[in-house]
Amino acid sequence: MRMEAVAALERLGGIAGYRDVLALTSRKRLRVAVAAGRILRVDHGRYALPEGDLAHDAVRRLRGHLSHLSAARRHGWEVARIPQWPQLVVPPGTEVPIDLARAETWPHVVVRRDLEAGVTGKLLTVLLCARDLPFADALAVADSALRHGDVTEEDLRSAAASWPDHAQRVAAYADGRAANPFESVLRAHAVEAGLGVVPQWEICVDGAIHHVDLADPVRGVVLEADSWEFHSGKEAFERDCRRYNRLVLAGWIVLRYTWRQVMLGGGWVVQELSQLAGRLDVA
Protein backbone atom coordinates (compact mmCIF):
# COMPACT_ATOMS: atom_id res chain seq x y z
CA MET A 1 0.00 0.00 0.00
CA ARG A 2 1.37 3.43 -0.98
CA MET A 3 2.10 5.87 1.85
CA GLU A 4 1.54 9.62 1.95
CA ALA A 5 4.21 11.65 0.15
CA VAL A 6 5.51 13.43 3.26
CA ALA A 7 5.79 10.13 5.15
CA ALA A 8 7.62 8.63 2.18
CA LEU A 9 10.15 11.45 2.13
CA GLU A 10 10.65 11.17 5.89
CA ARG A 11 11.31 7.45 5.42
CA LEU A 12 13.94 8.30 2.77
CA GLY A 13 15.84 10.72 5.01
CA GLY A 14 14.13 14.02 4.19
CA ILE A 15 15.55 14.40 0.67
CA ALA A 16 15.43 11.98 -2.25
CA GLY A 17 15.25 11.61 -6.01
CA TYR A 18 12.02 11.37 -7.99
CA ARG A 19 12.22 7.62 -8.59
CA ASP A 20 12.97 6.82 -4.96
CA VAL A 21 10.00 8.88 -3.80
CA LEU A 22 7.67 7.22 -6.31
CA ALA A 23 8.78 3.79 -5.09
CA LEU A 24 6.91 4.59 -1.86
CA THR A 25 4.13 6.96 -2.91
CA SER A 26 2.11 7.94 -5.98
CA ARG A 27 2.62 10.73 -8.50
CA LYS A 28 -0.70 12.28 -7.51
CA ARG A 29 0.17 12.35 -3.80
CA LEU A 30 3.55 13.87 -4.60
CA ARG A 31 1.99 16.56 -6.82
CA VAL A 32 -0.56 17.46 -4.12
CA ALA A 33 2.13 17.72 -1.43
CA VAL A 34 4.31 19.93 -3.64
CA ALA A 35 1.36 22.19 -4.51
CA ALA A 36 0.53 22.56 -0.82
CA GLY A 37 4.12 23.47 0.06
CA ARG A 38 4.58 20.43 2.28
CA ILE A 39 7.33 19.17 -0.05
CA LEU A 40 9.79 21.27 -2.04
CA ARG A 41 11.17 20.41 -5.46
CA VAL A 42 14.90 21.09 -5.43
CA ASP A 43 17.63 20.82 -8.05
CA HIS A 44 18.11 17.86 -10.37
CA GLY A 45 14.72 16.24 -9.83
CA ARG A 46 15.10 15.90 -6.06
CA TYR A 47 12.49 16.58 -3.40
CA ALA A 48 12.94 17.75 0.19
CA LEU A 49 10.91 18.60 3.26
CA PRO A 50 10.80 22.36 4.00
CA GLU A 51 12.76 23.83 6.90
CA GLY A 52 10.10 26.23 8.24
CA ASP A 53 10.07 29.91 9.25
CA LEU A 54 11.46 29.25 12.74
CA ALA A 55 14.85 28.38 11.28
CA HIS A 56 15.20 31.73 9.51
CA ASP A 57 14.00 33.65 12.56
CA ALA A 58 16.38 31.81 14.90
CA VAL A 59 19.39 32.35 12.63
CA ARG A 60 18.67 36.07 12.37
CA ARG A 61 17.94 36.80 16.03
CA LEU A 62 20.58 34.53 17.60
CA ARG A 63 23.32 35.49 15.11
CA GLY A 64 23.82 31.78 14.58
CA HIS A 65 24.09 29.41 11.66
CA LEU A 66 22.11 26.34 10.69
CA SER A 67 24.15 23.30 11.66
CA HIS A 68 23.99 19.59 12.49
CA LEU A 69 20.97 17.87 10.88
CA SER A 70 19.55 21.16 9.56
CA ALA A 71 22.81 21.87 7.72
CA ALA A 72 23.06 18.26 6.53
CA ARG A 73 19.67 18.60 4.87
CA ARG A 74 20.71 21.89 3.27
CA HIS A 75 23.75 20.11 1.82
CA GLY A 76 21.39 17.59 0.23
CA TRP A 77 22.28 14.65 2.46
CA GLU A 78 19.89 11.98 3.66
CA VAL A 79 19.54 11.83 7.45
CA ALA A 80 18.25 9.21 9.84
CA ARG A 81 16.10 11.63 11.79
CA ILE A 82 14.27 14.70 10.54
CA PRO A 83 14.76 17.32 13.30
CA GLN A 84 11.48 18.58 14.67
CA TRP A 85 12.99 22.01 15.22
CA PRO A 86 15.94 23.77 13.52
CA GLN A 87 19.43 23.01 14.79
CA LEU A 88 21.95 25.83 15.08
CA VAL A 89 25.36 26.76 16.40
CA VAL A 90 25.38 30.10 18.20
CA PRO A 91 28.13 32.28 19.66
CA PRO A 92 29.19 31.04 23.13
CA GLY A 93 27.25 32.77 25.90
CA THR A 94 24.19 33.44 23.72
CA GLU A 95 20.94 33.62 25.70
CA VAL A 96 18.08 31.99 23.83
CA PRO A 97 14.72 33.77 24.36
CA ILE A 98 11.74 31.69 25.37
CA ASP A 99 9.99 32.02 22.01
CA LEU A 100 13.02 30.44 20.29
CA ALA A 101 13.62 27.76 22.91
CA ARG A 102 12.28 25.08 20.59
CA ALA A 103 15.33 25.48 18.37
CA GLU A 104 18.21 23.15 19.29
CA THR A 105 21.38 25.17 19.83
CA TRP A 106 25.03 24.41 20.59
CA PRO A 107 27.73 26.97 21.35
CA HIS A 108 30.48 27.00 18.75
CA VAL A 109 32.77 29.62 17.26
CA VAL A 110 32.39 29.51 13.48
CA VAL A 111 34.83 31.31 11.21
CA ARG A 112 33.91 32.48 7.73
CA ARG A 113 35.86 29.77 5.92
CA ASP A 114 33.70 27.14 7.69
CA LEU A 115 30.45 28.50 6.22
CA GLU A 116 28.71 27.68 2.94
CA ALA A 117 25.67 29.68 1.86
CA GLY A 118 24.90 30.67 5.45
CA VAL A 119 25.12 27.20 6.98
CA THR A 120 28.03 25.30 8.47
CA GLY A 121 30.30 23.88 5.78
CA LYS A 122 30.23 20.24 4.82
CA LEU A 123 33.20 19.01 6.84
CA LEU A 124 32.26 21.05 9.91
CA THR A 125 28.67 19.81 9.69
CA VAL A 126 29.81 16.19 9.85
CA LEU A 127 32.16 16.92 12.75
CA LEU A 128 29.49 18.77 14.74
CA CYS A 129 27.06 15.89 14.26
CA ALA A 130 29.77 13.46 15.34
CA ARG A 131 30.47 15.51 18.45
CA ASP A 132 26.92 16.31 19.57
CA LEU A 133 24.47 13.71 18.21
CA PRO A 134 23.85 10.04 19.05
CA PHE A 135 26.21 7.67 17.27
CA ALA A 136 23.57 6.32 14.86
CA ASP A 137 22.37 9.78 13.78
CA ALA A 138 25.93 11.03 13.35
CA LEU A 139 27.04 7.95 11.41
CA ALA A 140 24.14 8.35 8.97
CA VAL A 141 25.21 11.94 8.29
CA ALA A 142 28.86 10.99 7.82
CA ASP A 143 27.92 8.12 5.51
CA SER A 144 25.73 10.45 3.42
CA ALA A 145 28.48 13.05 3.12
CA LEU A 146 30.90 10.39 1.89
CA ARG A 147 28.32 8.77 -0.39
CA HIS A 148 27.69 12.10 -2.15
CA GLY A 149 31.40 12.78 -2.48
CA ASP A 150 31.17 16.02 -0.48
CA VAL A 151 33.70 14.87 2.14
CA THR A 152 36.54 12.37 1.83
CA GLU A 153 37.45 9.72 4.38
CA GLU A 154 40.98 11.10 4.59
CA ASP A 155 39.85 14.66 5.28
CA LEU A 156 37.22 13.55 7.79
CA ARG A 157 39.54 11.34 9.82
CA SER A 158 42.34 13.89 9.72
CA ALA A 159 40.07 16.71 10.91
CA ALA A 160 38.43 14.53 13.57
CA ALA A 161 41.82 13.80 15.18
CA SER A 162 41.58 17.02 17.20
CA TRP A 163 37.95 16.45 18.23
CA PRO A 164 36.60 14.36 21.15
CA ASP A 165 36.95 10.57 21.12
CA HIS A 166 33.30 9.94 20.24
CA ALA A 167 33.62 12.22 17.19
CA GLN A 168 36.73 10.30 16.12
CA ARG A 169 34.74 7.09 16.48
CA VAL A 170 32.13 8.30 14.00
CA ALA A 171 34.87 9.31 11.56
CA ALA A 172 36.54 5.91 11.91
CA TYR A 173 33.34 3.99 11.09
CA ALA A 174 31.97 6.32 8.38
CA ASP A 175 31.60 4.52 5.05
CA GLY A 176 30.28 5.94 1.79
CA ARG A 177 29.20 2.50 0.60
CA ALA A 178 26.19 2.63 2.90
CA ALA A 179 23.11 2.78 0.69
CA ASN A 180 20.88 4.94 2.91
CA PRO A 181 20.29 6.10 6.52
CA PHE A 182 18.28 2.95 7.28
CA GLU A 183 21.34 0.85 6.56
CA SER A 184 23.64 3.29 8.39
CA VAL A 185 21.59 3.08 11.57
CA LEU A 186 21.48 -0.72 11.42
CA ARG A 187 25.27 -0.69 11.07
CA ALA A 188 25.55 1.64 14.06
CA HIS A 189 23.50 -0.82 16.13
CA ALA A 190 25.74 -3.66 14.98
CA VAL A 191 28.86 -1.72 15.91
CA GLU A 192 27.41 -1.01 19.35
CA ALA A 193 26.80 -4.75 19.70
CA GLY A 194 30.40 -5.58 18.86
CA LEU A 195 29.93 -6.92 15.32
CA GLY A 196 32.47 -6.01 12.64
CA VAL A 197 30.04 -5.38 9.81
CA VAL A 198 30.90 -4.07 6.35
CA PRO A 199 28.29 -2.43 4.07
CA GLN A 200 27.38 -3.81 0.63
CA TRP A 201 29.48 -6.96 1.03
CA GLU A 202 29.78 -9.42 -1.86
CA ILE A 203 29.23 -13.11 -1.14
CA CYS A 204 29.71 -15.84 -3.75
CA VAL A 205 27.40 -18.86 -3.37
CA ASP A 206 27.44 -21.61 -6.01
CA GLY A 207 29.00 -19.25 -8.55
CA ALA A 208 26.42 -16.48 -7.97
CA ILE A 209 27.37 -13.14 -6.44
CA HIS A 210 25.03 -11.82 -3.73
CA HIS A 211 25.29 -8.24 -2.50
CA VAL A 212 24.11 -8.00 1.10
CA ASP A 213 23.41 -4.83 3.06
CA LEU A 214 25.80 -5.67 5.91
CA ALA A 215 28.09 -8.59 6.64
CA ASP A 216 30.50 -9.59 9.39
CA PRO A 217 32.78 -11.83 7.30
CA VAL A 218 34.72 -13.09 10.32
CA ARG A 219 31.65 -14.30 12.23
CA GLY A 220 29.67 -15.26 9.12
CA VAL A 221 26.74 -12.94 9.85
CA VAL A 222 24.55 -11.13 7.31
CA LEU A 223 22.23 -8.28 8.32
CA GLU A 224 19.55 -7.07 5.92
CA ALA A 225 17.79 -3.71 6.20
CA ASP A 226 14.60 -5.19 4.87
CA SER A 227 11.20 -3.53 4.47
CA TRP A 228 8.37 -4.44 2.13
CA GLU A 229 8.11 -0.81 0.99
CA PHE A 230 11.62 -0.97 -0.46
CA HIS A 231 10.84 -3.94 -2.70
CA SER A 232 9.67 -3.03 -6.17
CA GLY A 233 7.02 -5.74 -6.06
CA LYS A 234 6.10 -9.29 -5.20
CA GLU A 235 8.70 -10.80 -7.52
CA ALA A 236 11.53 -8.82 -5.93
CA PHE A 237 10.37 -9.87 -2.47
CA GLU A 238 10.27 -13.55 -3.48
CA ARG A 239 13.71 -13.23 -5.12
CA ASP A 240 15.15 -11.88 -1.88
CA CYS A 241 13.63 -14.75 0.08
CA ARG A 242 15.38 -17.25 -2.20
CA ARG A 243 18.62 -15.32 -1.79
CA TYR A 244 18.38 -15.42 2.01
CA ASN A 245 17.78 -19.17 1.91
CA ARG A 246 20.85 -19.75 -0.27
CA LEU A 247 22.99 -17.76 2.16
CA VAL A 248 21.72 -19.77 5.14
CA LEU A 249 22.36 -23.05 3.34
CA ALA A 250 25.90 -21.82 2.62
CA GLY A 251 26.49 -21.39 6.35
CA TRP A 252 25.74 -17.70 6.87
CA ILE A 253 23.58 -16.49 9.75
CA VAL A 254 21.03 -14.11 8.22
CA LEU A 255 19.05 -11.63 10.30
CA ARG A 256 16.48 -9.32 8.74
CA TYR A 257 15.24 -6.09 10.30
CA THR A 258 12.45 -3.74 9.18
CA TRP A 259 12.72 0.04 9.04
CA ARG A 260 10.46 0.43 12.07
CA GLN A 261 12.48 -2.04 14.13
CA VAL A 262 15.79 -0.35 13.32
CA MET A 263 14.77 3.31 13.41
CA LEU A 264 12.26 3.21 16.26
CA GLY A 265 13.31 0.21 18.35
CA GLY A 266 17.08 0.34 18.26
CA GLY A 267 17.57 -0.65 21.89
CA TRP A 268 16.32 -4.20 21.52
CA VAL A 269 18.07 -4.55 18.14
CA VAL A 270 21.40 -3.79 19.84
CA GLN A 271 20.53 -6.22 22.63
CA GLU A 272 19.65 -8.96 20.16
CA LEU A 273 22.81 -8.45 18.11
CA SER A 274 24.91 -8.36 21.30
CA GLN A 275 23.52 -11.78 22.27
CA LEU A 276 24.44 -13.12 18.85
CA ALA A 277 27.97 -11.69 19.00
CA GLY A 278 28.46 -13.13 22.47
CA ARG A 279 27.36 -16.62 21.42
CA LEU A 280 29.56 -16.59 18.33
CA ASP A 281 32.61 -15.37 20.27
CA VAL A 282 32.21 -18.16 22.81
CA ALA A 283 31.69 -20.88 20.18
SS (HEC) of 104-136: EEEECCCCHHHEECCEECHHHHHHHHHHHCCHH
Q: Rounded to whole angstroms, how far apart are CA atoms 208 and 72? A: 38
CB 11 within 8 A of CB 229: yes
Structure confidence by residue, pLDDT tens digits, 68-101: 999 999 999 999 998 888 999 999 999 999 888 8
pLDDT of residue 281: 85
Query: Which of these, 217, 223, 230, 220, lies nearest to 255 by C-alpha position?
Result: 223
Residue 110 has pLDDT above 90, yes or no: yes
Residue 87: DSSP 8-state: E
At the topology level of CATH, where does 181-282 sit? Endonuclease; Chain A (3.40.960)
Question: Average pLDDT of 213-230?
Answer: 86
Helices (H) and strands (E) in the chain, counts: 13, 12
Domain spans of the chain, in order of start: 5-48, 53-173, 181-282
Percent of the chain with pLDDT over 90: 61
User: What integer pLDDT is reported at residue 58 of this predicted model?
Assistant: 85
**What pLDDT was estimated at residue 60?**
87
Separation of alpha carbons 44 and 123, rounded Å: 23
What does the pLDDT look like over 233-259, one tens digit per residue? 677 777 878 888 899 999 999 999 999
- What is the model's pTM? 0.88
* Size of the chain in residues: 283
